[in-house]
Amino acid sequence: TKSLKETLQEVIPAKQEQLKKLKTEHGQASLGEVTVDNVIGGMRGLKAMLWEASVLDPNEGIRFHGLTIPDCQKQLPAAPGGKEMLPESMLWLLLTGQIPSEAQVRQLSAELAEKGELPAYVEKLIDSLPPTLHPMTQLGMGVAALNHDSSFQAAYEKGIKKTEYWTHTFEDCINLIARLPALSARIYHNIYNAGAPLPGIDKKLDLIGNYANMLGFANEDLTEYLRLYIAIHGDHEGGNASAHTAHLVGSTLSDPYLSYSAALYALAGPLHGLANQEVLRWQMAMQKEIGDEITHEKIKDYLWKTLKSGQVVPGYGHGVLRNPDPRFMALQEFCDARPDLLKSPTIQLVKQTYEVAPGVLKEHGKTKNPYPNVDATSGCVLYHYGLTQFKYYTVIFGVSRALGCLTQLVWARALGLPLERPKSLSMDAIEKLIKA
Ligand code: FCX
């Protein structure tokens, strides 16, 4: 069986050729104009970034190398005895554009487990942090500190050829992905479970089997949910704040650890990854206010109360999507297949909110997308399975988003992409340009 690195090595030349051709034959072709709205409106819709692994269609949602989430669910290998695609399988697809065989995925799981232990100084660093420090702050610190052993940084200092950049970047990316479960589980343990035993890496388990184990959850359903969650959150094209941050920082040839640490702090914002924490907080407040007898009318009133107080409805709306998020739909299907989840009041409330919220948001008339994004349900399922500390939820998103961000860092180095440096303008400069 060919390894991930060998497979990647094989696909790189064709991509390099494709880029060269695009540059020489179509370098001056226009992909659209830049409007003043683009410049002052957070660059929404501006086609200005190269990102290989996935493309987001406003109506269909995400496709990974052309495959939809249901395609991936059918084709990507699961764990032994499991049904949900493994994040290792998704990583393989993102990096190579190919579907791995089961044997290749097992080999990758074993490699990740082999590399999964944290260095002692990182354990010491995390253990020294106050449990009151937000878990995302801790995660970003741990990831940044792992750059002590960066292969890219060491090789760059020695002086390597540009064509060798990607192999060192790849090595760092695999090491980082391997270590994220132990790092993230340690943060959970220190904050919420101090005193309980913290298991080490089990070499026989897959990446998320180990993560669930180290978090202290032996529940196979939760492990399967985490595999699905982490696989489908892996990449969402390049313009979202975390992915864009990793790409921008990586473009300075900062190593993958520093690049991804920066990305995590973008993910930690409430308009981005923190939304899954916010959804649960908001849902619990709604549940408390409307009591056990949930009706559409009561949910509607609560939605209006949220909107009239000037807040956003968390878990609804999106910068690009204009339909219900297929990631939301995949997680809902996971719930629909499990009677215990369907009986959960939290999951029921998610379902009923979905029946009412789009209508209310349309009537409110502000958001361009009145439909749920993935955050509308993701945390509620974790809550049901006993992972109730919602301040921690964005960390799980952070374990996942590494797949896409780090894939792109490997591709950026393999394709020799340059330092990112867009042009900014002052309002006076914009006015001058309009008059000219
Ligand atoms: N509830 C109420 N108002 C909303 C709204 C919502 N869920 N979503 C958007 N709006 C408002 C915006 O606040 C904006 O108001 P303004 O004109 O007064 O500033 C207006 O509608 C137009 O916004 P729109 O263009 O539709 O959306 P943006 O691209 O600006 O923002 C996000 C997209 C996701 C930030 C926005 O919809 C939002 O705040 N949603 C709630 C938080 C959330 O769920 N975030 C997770 C997103 C995602 F899945 C992720 O990154 O993880």
Residues of the chain with pLDDT > 70: what percent? 100
368 lines ligand 1 (CB under 6 A): yes
Query: How far from 75 is each of 68, 115, 422, CA to CA, in Å?
Result: 11, 27, 39
Name which of 177, 180, 154, 152 is nearest 166 in CA terms.
152
Count of other CB atoms within 10 angstroms of residue 35: 11
**Cross-strand bridge partners of residue 54:** 64
Q: Helix, strand or coil for residue 234?
A: coil
| Architecture of the structural domain at 102-270+392-414 | Orthogonal Bundle (1.10)
Q: Helix, strand or coil for residue 64?
A: strand
Distance of CA 331 from the midpoint of ligand 1 (Å): 21
- Helix-then-strand count for the chain, H and E: 21, 2
Residue 270 confidence (pLDDT): 87
Token readout for 240 is: 């979202």
Residue whose Cα lies nearest atom 36 of ligand 1: it is: 317
Give the tens place of pLDDT for each residue, 88-128: 999 999 999 999 999 999 999 999 999 999 999 999 999 99
Residue 218 confidence (pLDDT): 82
Give the tens place of pLDDT for each residue, 223-279: 999 999 999 999 999 999 999 999 999 999 999 999 999 999 999 998 889 888 889
* Rounded CA separation 128/122 (Å): 10
Residue whose Cα lies nearest atom 15 of ligand 1: it is: 366
* Rounded CA separation 238/167 (Å): 22
Task: With a cut of 70, list the residues of the chain below it in pLDDT.
Answer: none
Residue 208 confidence (pLDDT): 98
375 lines ligand 1 (CB under 6 A): yes
Residue 267 confidence (pLDDT): 97
The full set of domain ranges for the chain reads: 102-270+392-414, 275-384
Residue whose Cα lies nearest atom 42 of ligand 1: it is: 314
Active site residues: 272, 318, 375
As a dihedral over the C-alpha atoms of residue 94, residue 96, residue 102, residue 104, rounded to 10 degrees, the angle is -120
Considering Cα of 209, then 212, then 215, then 219, what sign does the dihedral take? negative
- Which amino acid, residue 32? G
Residue 28 confidence (pLDDT): 97
Q: Are 233 and 259 in contact (CB under 8 A)?
A: no
Instruction: Provide DSSP, 337-378.
Output: T-HHHHH-HHHHHHHHHHHHHHHHHHHHT--S--SB-THHHH
Q: Helix, strand or coil for residue 415?
A: coil
315 lines ligand 1 (CB under 6 A): yes
312 lines ligand 1 (CB under 6 A): yes
- Report ipTM for this prediction: 0.98
317 lines ligand 1 (CB under 6 A): yes
CATH level 3 topology of 275-384: Cytochrome p450-Terp; domain 2 (1.10.230)
Q: Helix, strand or coil for residue 85?
A: strand
Residue whose Cα lies nearest atom 48 of ligand 1: it is: 272
Distance of CA 227 from the midpoint of ligand 1 (Å): 28
CB under 8 Å to 141, separation ≥6 — which residues?
Answer: 125, 126, 129, 261
- Measured from the CA of 366, which atom of ligand 1 is nearest? 21
- Measured from the CA of 241, which atom of ligand 1 is nearest? 51
Give the tens place of pLDDT for each residue, 62-82: 999 999 999 999 999 999 999
Distance of CA 306 from the midpoint of ligand 1 (Å): 14
**Cross-strand bridge partners of residue 372:** 316
Residue 276 confidence (pLDDT): 83
Backbone angles phi, psi at 316, to 5 degrees: -120, 150
* Rounded CA separation 382/215 (Å): 12
Residue whose Cα lies nearest atom 18 of ligand 1: it is: 366
Which residue of 312, 369, 373, 395 sits with most ligand 1 atoms within 8 Å of its CB, as the best mutation to test the pocket? 312
Residue 103 confidence (pLDDT): 98
Q: What is the DSSP letter of 252?
A: T
* Rounded CA separation 58/202 (Å): 41
Residue 146 confidence (pLDDT): 98
Which residue of 318, 321, 323, 380 sits with most ligand 1 atoms within 8 Å of its CB, as the best mutation to test the pocket? 318
Token readout for 209 is: 């089997």
* Rounded CA separation 435/195 (Å): 68
Residue 292 confidence (pLDDT): 81
Residue 293 confidence (pLDDT): 87
Query: Angle, nearest 10°, between helix axes 256-267 and 241-250?
Result: 150
Q: Are 12 and 166 in contact (CB under 8 A)?
A: yes
Say if 102-270+392-414 and 275-384 have the same CATH topology.
no
Query: How far from 188 is each of 211, 254, 428, 429, CA to CA, in Å?
Result: 11, 28, 49, 49
